[in-house]
Amino acid sequence: MKFSIASFSIFSMTFTRKTVLKQKCCTPIFIRYHQVKTPRLWPSVGKIAAGKQFTRLCLVLALLLTPPLKGEVPAFIRGCMDCHGENGISQQNDVPTIAGLSAAYHKASLYAYRNRQRPAVPSKYRLGDQDRPSTDMKTISDRLTDREITYISLYFAAQRFIPAKQNFNPLLVEQGEKIHRTYCQRCHKDRGSRAGDDSGLLAGQWSGYLNNTMKFYRNGSREMEKKMAVMLAKISEQEWQALLAYYASQR
């Protein structure tokens, strides 16, 4: 398998979370990715309103400063596929498909694991040498360099997301759609299928993974934005099951 990071369309990268950054000349600043802080250097410009365009610029600069990879997919990218499937298409209900997620979301997720802002659940390898000891995302992200994280983010963002084929209760789909429109649509547009929201992909994602993620949010082991916490507080367990059915129905 051969690929070229250089062929990835850098202008498809978007980011929706806005913040204001203050800094002094040549001092570290922090770009906010879903409450994940990742250090960057930037010249003094006073106050910077960092929204979609600013974050896209940062990602473009990171790409331009990173030499292009050509030829065989490197081991640190192939290693992701030992759990997440070929090109990031998972075949496991409790492991998310990561193909097609935005580069910003990928990068934020890996830094969140590194910074212990997401629970890292031990997991056995699903492909390759399955006799290897179990690992977790904290251990994996700690081993990656910042440059490797950038490459991983760009590589999987360039892959096509394929919705999971899974069972769901068709009687709950209509209710789930209404709940999504009421509570979720503002941040997860197009029925939860727009990667450009930088909020992950809900439509067609594995229900087992989404269900575990909800448990982490509710027990406080995974951080979330205040507005999401407000919405989740209004959703009952039965309504959540309806949401799962709705997302699983989108193929």
pLDDT in tens, 71-107: 688 999 999 999 999 999 999 999 999 999 999 999 9
Of the candidates 157, 187, 203, which is a domain's last residue? Answer: 157
Instruction: Produce one character per residue of 156-177: b if its CB has 16 or more CB atoms within 10 Å, e if not.
Output: bbbbebbbbebebeeebbebbb
Q: What tens digit of pLDDT does each residue of 133-171 get?
A: 999 999 999 999 999 999 999 999 999 999 999 999 999
Is 165 part of a structural domain of the chain?
Answer: no
Are 185 and 136 part of one and the same domain? Answer: no
CATH number of the domain enclosing 86: 1.10.760.10
CA dihedral 22, 23, 28, 33 (to 10 degrees): 10
The Cβ of residue 124 has, within 10 Å, a number of other Cβ atoms equal to: 12
Into how many domains does the chain fold? 3
Q: Is 164 part of any domain?
A: no
Do 1 and 10 form a contact (C-beta atoms < 8 A)? no
Give domain status of residue 182, yes or no: yes
Q: The domain containing residue 239 runs over which residues?
A: 170-248
If asked whether residues 12 and 77 sit together in one domain, one would say: no
Query: Same domain, yes or no, for 90 and 151?
Result: yes
Does 143 lie in the same domain as 104? yes
Distance CA(31)–CA(51), nearest Å, equals 10
**Residue 208 included in any domain:** yes
